[in-house]
Structures are given as C-alpha cells and as structure tokens.
C-alpha cells in the first residue's frame, strides 16, 4: 500500500510538472533503449579508462618507491662492492692488478690519449701506461698523508739492457723523490719478472710544515724490464696507515701480473704517444659528494630539505688546498725565513665562470698578516723581538699602546698601526703558493704537493684538481675577538679556469629567522679521520641544524648566523643553505666553551659579505649554469623513475662538466634500469584523466535522461487515465 501511495504521489507530481502538450508518444514507453545504451557505454568507457589510469599510477609508484634503494646502492657503493670477487684493473700492455675497493681507490692513465680514467671507466681494458691505487682517506689537517701503489710503463725509455736499471732507477725514481735516499737494495721476482727492489727513506719533514712528526717519509721501489720497456712499481707509505690499509696494498702488490699482450696494436712506439713523466702521475680520491639519498616523495617535500640540498648542491662544494712557503723580509733584512704552511678547507662555486667562494683564512697568504700573527704569537711566549721590529717599522710607540684604556684596545691600536706597514718595507721573497681546488672526486698527491712547495716549485695538478688564483678578499688575521671590533668579514673569492661548473643559488639572511633550518656542507677533517668510522670512505659531510640566532658581528654592522649545526675544522668556507636550497652564509667560526660548561656555538658569515666582495671586484655571481640546470632536471626525472628522460640530461651534464662527481654513477644507474626494462612508463595521464572525466559526465547525463524520461512516462500515464490524452494518441492502441 505504501509503495502504491508513493507511485501515485510521483505520478501526480509528474502530471503537474508536464502538460499534455509537452508529452510525446514515445513517453508511453517506460524507458528508451538509447538512454540505457548510453549509460552502459559510458560506464564501460569510464571503468576502462580509470583502470588504465590507476594501473599506470600504481606501477609507476612502485617504480618510484624503488628509486631510493637503487640510488643508495649506486651512490653509496662502488660497482665492484656488489661482487664477492675483488675488482681488477687491466691494461692492454698485459698488466693487471686487483684491489680492495673498500680501502683502495684505483685510477689509470691511458697512453693513447693521456687521459685519466676512474670508477666504472676502469671496467674497460685500455692501454694504461700508469695504474695507481691510493688509500681512500686522508686529510692534511689531521697529520696524515695518503699511501699509494703505482705501476708505470716508461714507453719513451725503451732499452734492452738490464744493466741500465740502476741508472734508470736514479733517473725515474730518484729524480721524482729528491728528498729520499736508498737505504737498501736487492733483487726480487714479481709475476716471473726480475725487479731491483730499493727502500728509500728520509728524515721527518721540517721547515715549518709538519705532516707527521712520528714517522719518516719512505717508499719502496721496484724497477724491471718488460719486453725492453722499463716498468716501475712504487709503494709510497702513508704516515698514518693502519694494518688494513697495509695488508690491502700488500695483497695488490702480490696480485700484479705481466702477461703477453693480446693485440699487436697495443704496444705503441714513443712517437705514437705523448710524453708521460712522473710529474703527470695522477692521484684520485673517491669522495662521494652526496651525504644522503632522496625518495621521490621527499624530492618535492619541503620537510626533507637536507636531502634535497645534498642531492642538488653537493657537486658544487669543493675541497681547497692551500700550501705555501715564503721568506719574509723587513727593511731588506730577513724577518722570518722558510715560513711554510699546509691547510685545507671548503668552498663552493658561485656563477658558472669558475669563481669559488670561501673564507679568507683558508686561502689568504698575505705576508704582512703572517708577520703580524707570528710577532703576536712570539710575544705571547715572552719573545718581543719580532713585535719590536714590526713596531719600529710601523712607527708604533709605547705611548700609543699605553694610551689605550683596555687590553683589547691596546691590541687594536697595535694591529691598526702594524697593518699600515707599507709593502716597500715588508714583503715576501722566494715565495711559492700552491692553492688548489679539488672538484669532488680527486685530490692532489699530498706528499708531492708538500715536496713541491718546500722546494719552491709550482705543483703540477692532476686532472680533476685545478690551480686557483686569489681574486679578492676581505680578511685580517687578527680581528674581531682579539681586537673587540671586526674590520673585515673573512670572505674570499678564488678563480679557476673553465666554465659550466655546477653552481649554488645565493639567497639572503633576511629570509631566515630563529628556528629556520640550516644545512652546511664541507670537508671537516675530523669527520673522516677518527677512530669511530671506516676511514676507507671519505665523503663530503652535511650537518643540519637550526638558526639559533642572528647577531651583529663585534663592533660591526655585518651580521652572523648563530647555529647548532656542527662546524668543524675543514668546514671553513663551506656553504650554509636554507630550507629552499639557497646559500645564506659561509661556515666560519666555532666558539668552544664546552670545557667550561658553556657549550659549543657555531657562526656563519652573512652571504651579503660575499656579495659585497664580488661587487667590489666586478665579479658577476648571477650567471646561470647549464650544467646545474641539466643536473637538477635529471635528478627530478630519476626520482620520478623516468630513466630514459634522465639519461639524455645526464649525458649533457657529462659533456659540459666531465669532472662532475656523481654523473658517471647516475648514468650507469639509469642505463642499467633502462636495459632491465624498468622505470615509470610514459603515459598520457592528463589525456586519460580528461577522458575519464568526460566518461563520468556521460554517465551523469545518461542518468539524468533516464530520470527525465521516467517522469514524463509517469505524467503520460496520469494524463491518459484522466482522459487528457485520447486513446488514439496512445501508441499501444494503434
């Protein structure tokens, strides 16, 4: 009864809604096939499209989720580590050598193009005339130097006379190590070949630069003839090698094999190759530039700014080496002779023209600052001779100092006077500077760099390490805390040859506030040279924290960022990024009051100081880097598992900047995934989504047509029952 009442009520409403004139004969039917057909087709179309869309999304999401694990393997391990067998470097000259990739890093130079190869490139056999294994971890500030094992063919010195080996040994080994002397010689056999083995030793390093006081520098050399061509094997001992490193070098030495060449075209005559000298023997330090990997979700997620900063901008952070020796002359008389120093720090590319930003105290070797610092240091030990000499040259009197009210004022007065000593009175002679920039993967041979500097020679930098020139600086060695007022901002700019370097984006300190995130990338020595971590791996370190405060520098209008992000020795000059990946400052100072219970406080110089320095030196820091643009775009594609799209961009990065620290690994990664048929599939998602919406619209339209017809059908029946529509009008009666 209830159902009938509802039906009657529906009919009455329909009758009131539609007049007989509005009704057509087809409304006598309860439904129309075309309406239900449209509904069924719309449902089938929409379900099919949604199935395609959802299936594609789920498949691609699965691929994207696998990206982080894949990248972790690619970026945090060498390809050889994924095998139980030790990897091998093999030359077409018949030489092969195995190594432990967790402890030793290989590099090799081809005699065909005199090009350095490393990493996965060594999987290909080439005419390597030099193969070198280097200990992975080293930092000059920690008092250690790399050990190495180098095998080298001297193709230009072919001789069939083994009696000349002693003379060749002096020429090839001794000339490259002038500070060493043979302490013992004997004969030995390696892979069936007789070699003359010699132990070379020296006294501890002197002259103002100390690598390690506990050990003397030494090497062991082997020289022999392979088909009349001199071959040397040189084992250089690191001054702080552990047992694992020593055992790894010994195992590699035992693994050396000399076998007949397989191709008559592999042995080249001297006229076919470029000269290869000991000075061009290249050293490589494999430092992974990334500190973390990133998932696709975190790539676009602001909450994972540290990961994004590491991914995008670690390749633009470099390690800086500053080795110098000089004699300082005051009034044409020796003031400080054989004044030498060896330090490392961090820096970062700004613009794409080869400009590197860093701290002044990392790269400035101003003889006046060095003399002033030395004089104050000696005075603190009770030796006033050097201070008095400088004071006399500056016209500084005791009355000037006594007139200052506080101790800091006295220091300030003295420093101001001393810094006005003209260069005509105080200068450096016999000066050699070797300021180098390591481009992420490679470092100089520290022992050779030290020897060259002490010998007053310009170091021949290997591939991947660039010589740098100081463009400008704003720095005083005695400033701020010592005088109670900052006269300089401790920033500097270097310039290296080339362009298209990966770059950073410069921001502003005004965009951050207390509590904002801060990420610092650099090369602190203690992070890679301590007993708690595996020293066989050496990577750029990212430390994250918050902005603790923004404060004015002492006696200056310049600002500094106080942060709880760790800044260690070697971090100096490294960039500090905000959450958006912009450089807002340069890691500079650490105040350690932990022994007094006051904690450790770290300070970052305002990036505005760097911008001011660049402006004064007419340096444009706004130039865009195509390398960086391609890198960022490729990274985004990878984290969306679009490997094919990423590959072309990565190859472009490789062409623009071959020294890029991560591009080879990522190219190998995406190629492997492409070959395996993996990765997100290209799919017209937007088109399918729009088509699905169109299908849903058709469903809605179909339902509305069915409901509309149903109402008119009910009205038709009511009007028919009331006689408003004649029987002749009823199609069922005709």
Three-class DSSP labels, 197-221: EEEEECCCCCCCCCCCCCCCCEEEE
Residue 268, pLDDT score? 29
Structural domain spans, the chain: 2-54+684-733, 84-280, 296-616
- State residue 496 phi and psi, 5-degree precision: -120, 160
Top-confidence residue, 459 or 164: 459
The pLDDT tens digits for 589-634 are 888 765 555 677 899 999 999 999 999 999 988 888 999 999 999 9
Domain 296-616, second-level architecture: Beta Barrel (2.40)
When the pLDDT of each residue in the chain is averaged and rounded to a whole number, the result is: 78
The per-type count for the chain, helices as H runs and strands as E runs, is: 18, 25
Strands of 469-474's sheet in order across: 465-467, 426-438, 317-330, 333-350, 355-359, 491-495, 469-474
Check if the beta carbon of residue 537 is closer than 8 Å to that of residue 284.
Answer: no
CATH homologous superfamily of 84-280 equals: Mog1/PsbP, alpha/beta/alpha sandwich (3.40.1000.10)
* Percent of the chain predicted with pLDDT > 90: 27
Residue 58, pLDDT score? 56
For the whole model, what pTM was predicted?
Answer: 0.59
Average pLDDT, stretch 32-60?
Answer: 75
Top-confidence residue, 142 or 36: 36
Question: Which residues neighbour 331 within 8 Å (Cβ) at sequence distance 6 or greater?
Answer: 393, 425, 426
**CA 608, chain centre distance (Å):** 24
C-alpha to C-alpha distance for 233 and 239, rounded to whole angstroms: 19
The pLDDT tens digits for 656-695 are 998 888 888 888 878 877 777 776 656 566 777 787 788 7
Highest mean pLDDT among 347-356, 478-487, 519-528, 680-689: 347-356
Indicate whether 707 pLDDT > 80.
yes
């Amino acid at each position: 009864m209830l159902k009938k009442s509802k039906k009657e009520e529906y009919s009455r409403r329909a009758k009131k809604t539609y007049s007989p004139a509005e009704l057509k004969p087809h409304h006598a039917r309860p439904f129309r096939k075309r309406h239900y057909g449209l509904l069924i087709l719309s449902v089938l179309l929409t379900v099919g499209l949604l199935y395609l869309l959802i299936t594609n999304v789920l498949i691609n999401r699965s691929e994207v989720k696998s990206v982080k694990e894949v990248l972790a393997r690619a970026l945090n391990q060498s390809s050889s580590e994924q095998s139980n067998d030790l990897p091998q470097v093999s030359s077409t000259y018949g030489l092969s050598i195995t190594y432990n990739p967790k402890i030793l890093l290989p590099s090799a130079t081809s005699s065909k193009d005199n090009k350095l190869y490393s990493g996965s490139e060594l999987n290909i056999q080439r005419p390597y005339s030099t193969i070198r294994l280097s200990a992975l971890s080293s930092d000059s500030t920690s008092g250690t130097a790399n050990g190495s094992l180098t095998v080298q063919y001297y193709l230009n010195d072919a001789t069939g006379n083994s009696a000349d080996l002693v003379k060749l040994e002096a020429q090839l080994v001794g000339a490259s190590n002038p500070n060493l002397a043979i302490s013992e010689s004997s004969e030995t056999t390696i892979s069936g070949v007789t070699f003359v083995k010699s132990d070379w030793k020296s006294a501890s390093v002197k002259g103002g630069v100390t690598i390690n006081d506990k050990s003397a520098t030494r090497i062991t050399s082997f020289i022999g003839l392979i088909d009349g061509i001199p071959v040397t094997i040189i084992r250089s001992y690191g001054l702080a090698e552990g047992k694992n490193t020593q055992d790894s070098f010994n195992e590699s030495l035992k693994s050396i094999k000399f076998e007949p060449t397989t191709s008559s075209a592999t042995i080249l005559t001297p006229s076919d190759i470029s000269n290869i000298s000991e000075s061009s023997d290249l050293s490589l330090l494999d430092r992974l530039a990334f500190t973390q990997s990133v998932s696709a979700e975190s790539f676009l997620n602001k909450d994972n700014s540290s990961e994004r900063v590491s991914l995008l901008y670690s390749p633009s952070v470099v390690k800086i080496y500053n080795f110098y020796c000089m004699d300082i002359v005051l009034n044409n008389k020796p003031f400080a002779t054989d004044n030498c120093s060896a330090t490392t720090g961090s820096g970062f590319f700004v613009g794409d023209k080869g400009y590197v930003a860093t701290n002044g105290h990392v790269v400035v070797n101003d003889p006046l600052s060095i003399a002033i610092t030395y004089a104050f240091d000696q005075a603190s030990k009770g030796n006033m001779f050097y201070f008095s000499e400088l004071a006399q040259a500056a016209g500084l009197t005791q009355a000037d100092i006594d007139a200052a009210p506080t101790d800091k004022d006295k220091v300030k007065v003295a420093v101001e006077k001393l810094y006005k000593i003209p260069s005509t009175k105080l200068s450096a002679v016999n000066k050699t500077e070797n300021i180098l920039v390591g481009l992420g993967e490679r470092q100089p041979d520290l022992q050779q760099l030290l020897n060259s500097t002490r010998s007053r020679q310009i170091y021949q930098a290997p591939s991947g390490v660039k010589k740098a020139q100081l463009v400008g600086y704003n720095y005083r060695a005695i400033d701020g805390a010592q005088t109670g007022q900052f006269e300089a901002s401790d920033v500097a700019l270097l310039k290296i040859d080339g362009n298209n370097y990966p770059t950073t984006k410069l921001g502003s300190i005004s965009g951050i506030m207390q509590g904002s995130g801060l990420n610092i990338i650099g090369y602190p020595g203690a992070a890679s040279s301590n007993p708690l971590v595996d020293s066989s791996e050496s990577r750029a370190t990212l430390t994250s924290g918050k902005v603790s405060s923004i404060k004015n520098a002492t006696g200056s209008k310049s600002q500094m960022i106080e942060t709880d992000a760790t800044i260690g020795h070697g971090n100096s000059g490294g960039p500090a990024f905000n959450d958006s990946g912009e450089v807002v400052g340069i890691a500079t100072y650490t105040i350690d009051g932990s022994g007094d219970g006051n904690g450790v406080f770290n300070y970052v110089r305002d990036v505005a100081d760097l911008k001011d320095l660049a402006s004064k030196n007419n340096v444009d820091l706004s130039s865009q880097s195509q390398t960086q643009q391609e890198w960022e775009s490729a990274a985004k594609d990878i984290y969306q598992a679009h490997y094919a799209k990423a590959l072309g961009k990565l190859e472009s990065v490789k062409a623009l900047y071959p020294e890029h620290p991560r591009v080879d690994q990522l190219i190998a990664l995406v190629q492997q995934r492409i070959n395996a048929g993996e990765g997100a599939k290209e799919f017209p998602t937007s088109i399918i989504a729009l088509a699905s919406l169109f299908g849903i619209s058709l469903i809605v339209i179909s339902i509305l047509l069915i409901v509309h017809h149903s109402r008119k059908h009910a009205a038709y029946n009511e009007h028919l029952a009331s006689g408003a529509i004649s029987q002749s009008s009823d199609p069922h009666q005709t």
